[in-house]
Structure 1
Amino acid sequence: MNEINETLLSAEAIRKTIEVPAHPIKPPITTEEKEALKSRIKKLMREQDAVLVAHYYTDGDIQELAEESGGCVADSLEMARFGTTAKEQTLVVAGVSFMGETSKILNPEKRVLMPDLRATCSLDIGCPADVFGAFCDAHPDHTVVVYANTSAAVKARADWMVTSGIALPIVEHLKAQGEKILWAPDRHLGHYIEKVTGVEMLLWQGSCVVHEEFKSVALERIRRLHPDAAVLVHPESPEHVTDQADVVGSTTKLIEAVATMDQKKFIVATDDGIFWKMKQVAPDKILISAPTAGEGATCESCAHCPWMAMNSLQNIEAMLQNPGPQHEINIDESIRERAMLPIRRMLDFADSHGISGKYQGNA
């Protein structure tokens, strides 16, 4: 137990040293300029046999471009799956680095480009492969389950990869098999899964800088101001926030809730990039950002990931104009082969259980 505590204290220390970048300042752009910019990007993508894969947390302009150009807007589960079926030989991934890596792991024959390779994730940074590998080595009797928000090297140490949309059924499956589980890296998502499934897991002490900013007391106040609103919370949020939710779930589940629930008003505790898709599927609904201010607030993220914010229409165009090694994802083949196994296991499970990472309703 002392060894476990020492390792998890080390993970906690790593988490606390993560430097969060300032949100990039994006110059204003007119509607006419934006449409011209999108038109140029579409032309460049056609010329390079490229398709755009965007996460729900990227700017709405990027999500709009992806849909208009035949690409994909989804959570990390469907982003991973999309690249394997796309006919294009170049995948432009608008998101953060682990998403580009996952695309490359599954599609080694394709070129995978990202607008800014510095766009990472606090969960990824907070789970270095060497420290995590030592933790796994110390507990060889545990099945290793890692969240998608990890590096290829960490995935290479795992038995399963999961996203928030599929974590619960996979952990339930492992529970039924009598497996002992080592979970990484998000401690809040891991704790939520423990509560729902009744499975006790060894939890790595990582966290998301966006979701950890949501404040319990401030959320209680805004709920009193809007008693008719449903509260939607991503499970990367702290327990005192998820405990107040009407719906806890992945990005796809939260989008579906806005589209299908009877309420007209929603308080949303996740990255506000998701509002673009929510407004698209339910234009008559009122969306309120859950508060990040309050006692103890640092507002490092202010409900939008600073690394996701490194994606823009402007740097997608610049990348396609000069698509060199400064934008291309490459992974050591020995790591890629090992990392593919837990990802493939997840995708096969999703296929066999009909689980999707993309909202299937009418947009």
Structure 2
Amino acid sequence: MNTANAKPLVRDRIEVPPHPTWPVLDDAAKESLKDRVKRLLAEQEAVLVAHYYVDGDLQALAEETGGLVADSLEMARFGAKSDAKTLVVCGVRFMGETAKILNPEKRVLMPTLAATCSLDEGCPAEAFSAFCDAHPDHTVVVYANTSAEVKARSDWVVTSSIALPIVQHLHARGEKILWAPDKHLGRYVQRMTGAEMRLWDSACVVHEEFKGFALERVRRLHPDAAVLVHPESPTEVIDQADVVGSTTQLIKAVHDLPNRAFIVATDEGIFWKMHQLAPDKQLIAAPTAGEGATCESCAHCPWMAMNALQNLAAVLERGDQDQDQEIRIEESIRQRAVQPIQRMLDFAREQGIGGGRDGR
């Protein structure tokens, strides 16, 4: 991974890394590396789970080896069902932490712990705790894209698909909501439920770059295309959507809707699974360029891009010797963090909602 000639960008107190540049592998080298990873996974009784936003080669490898490609919570739940002693998580750090929270007896490795998240970094635990202390009469609801410490301070953890029914449930009970960290998702939930909510001021660097005026231009070029939008996007983008939903819900829409073309406003890593399930559909990336855009992410998370075949193989080759890329969570924090996650899972089961499978 080469980032030597690129400078990080500092945005809203968050240092956004440059997109890593990995050496281009020819087909033979790529297959050799994949074969090595497969052998190491088997030798170490490890299972590979990958998020929809990582490189397609990693998603394919997870499926080929009996692992899973999914959202962050389903990745963690899959680990709990697996007999594997080690979970290898290709994604960003909060995903590895969620896996460890739900699977404390398993070893959780990641290709790199440097792969964080702008929402996670934009909601530091100490500042968030002070925010909670300032509003003690509010129920604390946090998005899955947060650290274990922030989850431990919450009453509920939600994914993007189950946020609406949970907040509606709390609103019906007369509870006021303290929401963190994504302000765009929070505004969407607030508008749809009518709940009284105080919002933490943070946003995803990928989704915030989608521009409403630019999306309008693309829609005029493709009038028959359905617009699919993740609710972490700005309101002016959400308002143009035919479908607003989580990663899994957007993938399902491409498969189920009769449209032949789709304009997709989320991380372009999702295209691999969309193409797999609907190879005959045309996928058009929603624009991030235009007046006022910085294109820090260009519709692909720079932290997700830190996952590659090369460092996946490296962490497996080091095996039990590698403690640098192992997720560790203080047990007292883990015990507090698992409670709001379990509360969400119990709610989903009681209401017959697939909350975990339709997460971010």
Residue aligned with 1:322, SS: helix
Q: Which whole-Å deviations, capped at 9, do the CAs of 1:115-167 have from their partners, x for residues lacking one?
A: 00010000001101001001111111111000011000000100010111211
Contact 1:165 1:250 in 2 (8 A): yes
Q: Which whole-Å deviations, capped at 9, do the CAs of 1:171-211 have from their partners, x for residues lacking one?
A: 11212222111000000000000111111210000100000
In structure 1, the partner of 2:181 is: 185
In structure 1, the partner of 2:325 is: 327
Contact 2:254 2:278 in 1 (8 A): yes
Counterparts of 1:109-148 in structure 2 under 5 Å?
Answer: 109-148=105-144
Instruction: Go from structure 1 to structure 2 and tell me whether the alpha carbon gap of 1:259 and 1:304 turns closer, same or farther (over 3 Å shift).
Output: same
Asked if 1:237 corresponds to 2:233, the answer is yes
Residue aligned with 1:73, SS: strand
For residues 153 and 127 of structure 1, the distance between their equivalents in structure 2, rounded to whole angstroms, comes to 10
In structure 1, the partner of 2:4 is: none
Contact 2:159 2:355 in 1 (8 A): no
Pick which of 131-140 and 279-288 moved more: 131-140
In structure 1, the partner of 2:274 is: 278
In structure 2, the partner of 1:53 is: 49
Q: State TM-score, norm by structure 1.
A: 0.93
For residues 11 and 154 of structure 2, the distance between their equivalents in structure 1, rounded to whole angstroms, comes to 20
Asked if 1:81 corresponds to 2:77, the answer is yes
For residues 354 and 218 of structure 1, the distance between their equivalents in structure 2, rounded to whole angstroms, comes to 35
- Residue 68 (structure 1) aligned to one of 61, 64, 70: 64
- For 2:102, the aligned partner's letter is L
For residues 85 and 145 of structure 1, the distance between their equivalents in structure 2, rounded to whole angstroms, comes to 27
Contact 2:76 2:103 in 1 (8 A): no
Shift in Å at residue 271 of structure 1?
0.1
In structure 2, the partner of 1:11 is: none
Percent identity, aligned pairs only, is: 71
> Which ranges in structure 2 are unaligned for 5 or more consecutive residues?
1-9
Shift in Å at residue 351 of structure 1?
2.7
In structure 1, the partner of 2:88 is: 92
Contact 1:15 1:206 in 2 (8 A): no
For residues 169 and 36 of structure 2, the distance between their equivalents in structure 1, rounded to whole angstroms, comes to 47
Contact 1:292 1:303 in 2 (8 A): yes
Residue aligned with 1:259, SS: helix
- Residue 258 (structure 1) aligned to one of 254, 257, 266: 254
Structure 1 stretches (4+) deviating beyond 6 angstroms? none
Pick which of 71-80 and 106-115 moved more: 71-80
- Residue 34 (structure 2) aligned to one of 27, 31, 38: 38
In structure 2, the partner of 1:306 is: 302
Instruction: Go from structure 1 to structure 2 and tell me whether the alpha carbon gap of 1:306 and 1:16 turns closer, same or farther (over 3 Å shift).
Output: same
For residues 181 and 357 of structure 2, the distance between their equivalents in structure 1, rounded to whole angstroms, comes to 23
- For 1:347, the aligned partner's letter is L
Q: State TM-score, norm by structure 2.
A: 0.94
For residues 17 and 198 of structure 1, the distance between their equivalents in structure 2, rounded to whole angstroms, comes to 31
Contact 2:345 2:356 in 1 (8 A): no
Contact 2:227 2:242 in 1 (8 A): yes
> Which ranges in structure 1 are unaligned for 5 or more consecutive residues?
1-13
In structure 2, the partner of 1:8 is: none
Instruction: Go from structure 1 to structure 2 and tell me whether the alpha carbon gap of 1:125 and 1:104 turns closer, same or farther (over 3 Å shift).
Output: same
Asked if 1:102 corresponds to 2:98, the answer is yes
- For 2:191, the aligned partner's letter is K
Shift in Å at residue 89 of structure 1?
1.0
In structure 2, the partner of 1:355 is: 354
For residues 354 and 167 of structure 2, the distance between their equivalents in structure 1, rounded to whole angstroms, comes to 14
Shift in Å at residue 298 of structure 1?
0.3
Shift in Å at residue 19 of structure 1?
1.2
Shift in Å at residue 57 of structure 1?
0.4
Contact 1:161 1:346 in 2 (8 A): yes
Pick which of 39-48 and 345-354 moved more: 345-354
Shift in Å at residue 357 of structure 1?
4.4
In structure 1, the partner of 2:7 is: none
Shift in Å at residue 218 of structure 1?
0.9
For residues 95 and 184 of structure 1, the distance between their equivalents in structure 2, rounded to whole angstroms, comes to 21
Contact 1:21 1:306 in 2 (8 A): yes
Shift in Å at residue 80 of structure 1?
2.4
Residue aligned with 1:130, SS: helix
Q: Which whole-Å deviations, capped at 9, do the CAs of 1:257-294 have from their partners, x for residues lacking one?
A: 00000100000000000000000000000000000001
Contact 2:73 2:98 in 1 (8 A): no
